[in-house]
Chains A and B, each alone.
Chain A
Amino acid sequence: MYEILAREDFSEVTFLLEVHYPLLARAARPGQFVIVMLHADGERIPLTIADYSVERGSFTLVVQAVGKTTNEMQQNCQVGSRLYAVVGPMGIPSHIGELNKVICVGGGLGVAPVYPQARALKERGAYVIGIVGFRNKDLIFWQEKFENVCDELIICTDDGSAGLKGLVTDGIKRAVDQHQDIDEVVAIGPPVMMKFCAEATRPHGIKTVVSLNPIMVDGTGMCGGCRVAVGGEMKFCCVDGPEFDAHQVDFDDLMNRLARFRPEEKQAYERWAQSDNCRLVQEEPNIH
């Protein structure tokens, strides 16, 4: 269990891990997440499930190396190695209703986790419009996977090196202009992206669902660290979410709370980057 079966590096910072865990593969539903520990002294980090396969007895994570733990994962999680702990699936699964036409938006880290939703909606017979955003052409991944489950796929790049030049919100604008009968938008990505997706759909009154990613410890409702403000009420993302009505979410509050440990995160990363455990230092090119 928890063994890494496959790994794929999408870019210098983004990588995919396929993890062996048959029981979890059976239980997982779109919208859910896991908590991972790298080692006994590690922190518990929440990661949204990007895919799962009962046949392969595995689930997939797409991780971006941003801090100490995710950089350590990038370095150490090679095929054949094992994660120290995986717990999940956590959170309330997405409500995959009888919808006619849906937009699934993924940006940055959110591209992977929106995939299972697109697939599930397609399986329910919905017309699925996928909108995925990347910085440039080289960072694009899973295009074919998305094409297989989307009736239309709009790729957005910041620099226009592929697809539509612009942000995913530009993609939403295009899709909404072309289709007057959109039932729902699902948007997953960085908080600021989700905030602007919510603003893009609000004037049209299209129901919009986002998946939030606050700081968590246990992920079982016990610590309250993941509390988010939704419709003026406090909710615990881990057990009341992670998906909420985007038009009710206070994204500024979420972004403020995500900055809670910024000094500690920086300290931990720098300490690790300078330590013997980090091959960023050790693997400097040999001059001889």
Chain B
Amino acid sequence: MAKKTIRNIPQERTAIATQGSKERIGNFNEVTLGYSLEDTLIEAERCLMCPQEPCVPGCPVSIDIPGFIQKICDQDFRGAYDVLAESTLLPAICGRVCPQEDQCEGVCVVARHLEPVAIGRLERYVGDMAITEGWVSEPEIEPNEHKIAIVGAGPAGIACAADMAKAGCDVTIFEALHRPGGVLTYGIPEFRLPNPVIDAEFNKVLELGVKVECNTLVGRLFTIDQLRNEMGFDAVFIGTGAGYPSFMGIPGESLNGVLSANEFLTRCNLMQAGEFPSKDTPLGLGRKVVVIGAGNTAMDAMRVSLRLGADEVHCLYRRTSAESPARVEELHHAKEEGVMFQWLTAPLEILGDEENNVRGLRCIRMELGEPDTSGRRRPVPITNSEFEFKCATVIYAIGTNANPIIGQTSKLKLNKWGYIETDDEQCSSLAGVFAGGDIVTGSATVILAMGAGRRAAQSMKKYLGINDPVDMEVSDPNQRRIFGIDARQKRFARVRLPEQDRVA
């Protein structure tokens, strides 16, 4: 076959089918339907297999992206899954929720001239197929003596657990909630990430021998210190997230009908409050909902509100759509579904009725002034522009702070905001204790947390003296192939027969 060039690849990025916006706000089914086999094969052809491979370092977990796309082109989907599984056990999840436009797709060579290769959609296709077909990656694990504790069954903890289990350690994840998954379970709604997908991919982690203890609040049931010194764990990874929601401190925040997006989403996703009263957890959603903030969490809260029957859902943001931290796709979906955006608007006070319920907001219009330290233009209030806005529910989606429990119950060094201090290799101030994800960086993304979990696993192995010859090449793309063999394939000691033998 002729060498692929920017001229001879399919010029258009393959479109993805979605549920129509009218239809979808009446259900919790997935909005983005995924590629067909044909779509997948066409889109895979758009990858130039360029020698630079900027997408690989562009991925926080360093997936061999050209490697798995090549397998798709060869129609070897099982092979594609095996390439993915070397770096991530959650391709169906990451294919759905990663901000690829800022990562792999953002640096794709094709994007210099055309739309980038839809790497996320291809990853999702392979991940979904692995679930349907029941594929398991079966690394040959050589058990060792090391016992590892992981605190928090969210993305960071899952990624760290998987790598440590592959390295042969006896791994236990401790989770405070009654279901594992962290933000994947309590935060991201069904229509973006269906629960069966989470369960299926989480099961792959369990198949590596990882144990999970739910309903276990580390710090209170036992401390990090006890894990290390009494319970015989050789190393601990902390990935407890940043879920301590922020409020603004304006009057009226304790009125009934004001809640954090975390509370709203936890009630809806984890506790299934949308099915009250057949499920016990209530929600008490008003007909007219205002969400303050315009990030991904805000989009999720608004789109859930619409699906639960709110008549009107408004987004209040003090800057404009250009400054919104939400993914373009999320913003687009929210608009399509009928969310009304009140850009350049800030709340001053939440107004209540005599029964202490929310009846509205007093707001002020803003304009953009000079850029602030974040480089975004600072919103400045316009004098005499105050107005009242009627609503029954106010949801805060303006970010979260560090969860204080581990800090309260350990001697770990925290920074001034309460996040755990680590070095570049995720080592905390205590020997044998590693941390990563939002509890280190503050609110970020699923995939960045997974990246941190994997980095922590590398450090842990170093700390425990586990030899993992493969890993030195991970960050160095030039050394990845030794004698024409992908060095990382060594991690999976499965014997690979030559092609012809396999056919026979």
Contacts and interface: CB of A to CB of B under 8 A. Distances in A.
Contact of B176 (A68, A87, A259, A261): A87
Contact of B267 (A217, A253, A265): A217
Contacts of A218: 176-177, 186, 266
B79 interface: no
A41 interface: yes
Nearest to B401: A221
B403 A220 contact: yes
Contacts of A32: 220
A224 interface: yes
B282 A268 contact: yes
B263 A224 contact: yes
Contacts of A90: 217, 220
Contact of B276 (A85, A219, A253, A268): A268
Nearest to B275: A41
A82 B41 CA distance: 52
A94 to B, nearest CB: 14
B221 A256 contact: no
B254 A223 contact: no
Interface stretch (B49-57, B242-250, B445-453): B242-250
Nearest to B175: A87
A30 to B, nearest CB: 14
A225 interface: yes
A222 interface: yes
A210 to B, nearest CB: 17
B346 to A, nearest CB: 19
Contact of B404 (A87, A217, A239, A257): A239
A264 B253 CA distance: 21
B363 interface: no
A227 B254 contact: yes
Interface string B159-190: 00000000000000000111000000010000
A220 B176 contact: yes
Best-surrounded residue of B254, B260, B262 (most CB of chain A within 10 A): B254
B266 A217 contact: yes
Contacts of B243: 220-223
Interface string A234-245: 101001100000
Contacts of B256: 256-257, 259-260
Contacts of A41: 272, 278-280
Nearest to B214: A85
B276 A27 contact: no
Contacts of B405: 220-221, 239
Nearest to A253: B254
A229 B266 contact: no
A117 B279 CA distance: 36
B125 to A, nearest CB: 32
A16 interface: no
A239 B408 contact: yes
- Grouping DSSP codes into helix (H, G, I), strand (E, B) and loop, the B interface class, with mixed when no group exceeds half, is loop
A265 B282 contact: yes
B247 A87 contact: no
A227 to B, nearest CB: 7
Best-surrounded residue of A41, A260, A271 (most CB of chain B within 10 A): A260
- Grouping DSSP codes into helix (H, G, I), strand (E, B) and loop, the A interface class, with mixed when no group exceeds half, is mixed
B259 interface: yes
B221 A43 contact: no
Contacts, number: 131
A257 B177 CA distance: 24
Contacts of B220: 27, 32, 88-91
A217 B271 contact: yes
A184 B282 CA distance: 38
Contacts of B276: 264, 268
Nearest to A87: B215
A224 B280 contact: no
Nearest to A36: B215
A267 B284 CA distance: 12
B356 interface: yes
Contact of B280 (A68, A253, A263): A68
Contacts of A84: 178
A23 interface: yes
Interface string B16-57: 000000000000000000000000000000000000000000
A42 interface: yes
A208 interface: no
A264 B284 contact: yes
Nearest to A29: B220
A42 B408 contact: no
A120 interface: no
A286 B117 CA distance: 73
B277 interface: yes
A68 to B, nearest CB: 7
B280 A220 contact: no
Contacts of A86: 215
B221 A88 contact: yes
Contacts of A5: none
Contacts of B443: none
Given A43-B271, A217-B266, A253-B254, A23 B280 contact: no
Contacts of A24: 221
Contact of A260 (B216, B249, B280, B284): B284
A253 B252 CA distance: 11
A224 B247 contact: yes
Contacts of B247: 224, 227, 234
Interface in A199-235: 217-225, 227, 229, 234
A69 interface: yes
Interface string A181-196: 0000000000000000
Given A217-B271, A220-B176, A222-B245, A92 B263 contact: no
19 contacts: A23-B222, A27-B220, A68-B280, A86-B215, A87-B177, A87-B178, A87-B216, A217-B266, A220-B217, A221-B244, A223-B245, A223-B267, A224-B245, A225-B259, A227-B253, A227-B254, A256-B254, A256-B356, A268-B280
Given A89-B220, A221-B404, 10 more contacts: A24-B221, A37-B178, A87-B216, A90-B220, A217-B266, A220-B243, A239-B244, A240-B404, A263-B284, A268-B282
Interface of B: 176-178, 186, 214-217, 220-222, 241, 243-245, 247, 249, 253-256, 259-260, 262-263, 266-267, 271-272, 276-284, 356, 403-405, 408
